[in-house]
Amino acid sequence: MEFSARYVALGDSFTEGLGDTDPTLPNQVRGWADRTAEQLALARPDETVGYANLAIRGKKMQQILTEQIDVAVAMKPTLVTIYSGINDILRPKVNIDAMIANYSDGIAKLAATGARVLVFTGYDASSSKVFASIRGRTAVYNELVREVAETHGAELVDYWRFREYDDWRLWGIDRMHMSTPGHINMANRVLEQLGETARIPLPEMLPIPMRTTAETLRDNAAWTREYVGPWVSRRLRGVSSGDNLSARWPEFRAPTTP
């Protein structure tokens, strides 16, 4: 099938869709990129919209550049979104200048296709007691990403400034990936950047329950045991949660709304 509009999503777990669980879909997730593609198709009934998602959780920037950029270029996209680099920033050591120099080369390749290219800044994790420590690194990364976007005519989805994500109901139980409402909100932010008028209704979010100090300590201990411990273990062993996974939608398909 020939598609007149061709959207390719690149990146890591953020774009793969972790936190927006759907057992009926590949890798059992849906995510903001799927939701964005669905809305684009609904808004263009006279066009054939194709959607591919090459993102895989745990991928660092060089892996994304090596494994996904050339594949995307060969697909002759009309729209590309890419989020990359935060898995690198979370490592003990990272050369952000060298990383962004490589990123610039990758964005140049995507821009050369004539596609509309959207890049993301990293989230300001100042409200997280665990991830606030990388705030300075993320700020440097973001400023360099802004320069890359300006240089290559890419558009910026400025996640750093999305203050609604200070609400922990937009985050999943692992406190690392967006929840379903978080993914829906991100899809709406991307649709806004694209100039689309459609918005996806957010599900009703229940009030945050009051927790005693003892309950909070138990919650934090359980979270550390179930999520932080395995995450640290993978880093020490040099393995990734995405090592045995394939891209969810490696070829163009017509996006469908479940």
CA within 13 Å, CB half, 255 = 29
Tokens of 165: 């994500």
CA neighbor of 27 nearest in space, from 242, 255, 257: 242
Find tokens 């059992």 and name the residue: 28
Beta strands in 127-241 (DSSP E): 155-157
**87 in Cβ contact with 123 (< 8 Å):** no
Q: How far apart are CA 241 and CA 44, in angstroms?
A: 36
Instruction: Look at domain 5-201+248-253 and name its CATH class.
Output: alpha beta
Q: What pTM, to 2 d.p., does this model score?
A: 0.91
pLDDT in tens, 105-147: 999 999 999 999 999 999 998 877 667 888 999 999 999 999 9
Tokens of 193: 């950047």
Q: Where are the domains of the chain?
A: 5-201+248-253
**20 in Cβ contact with 183 (< 8 Å):** yes
pLDDT in tens, 180-232: 999 999 999 999 999 999 999 999 887 877 777 776 667 666 666 775 666 56
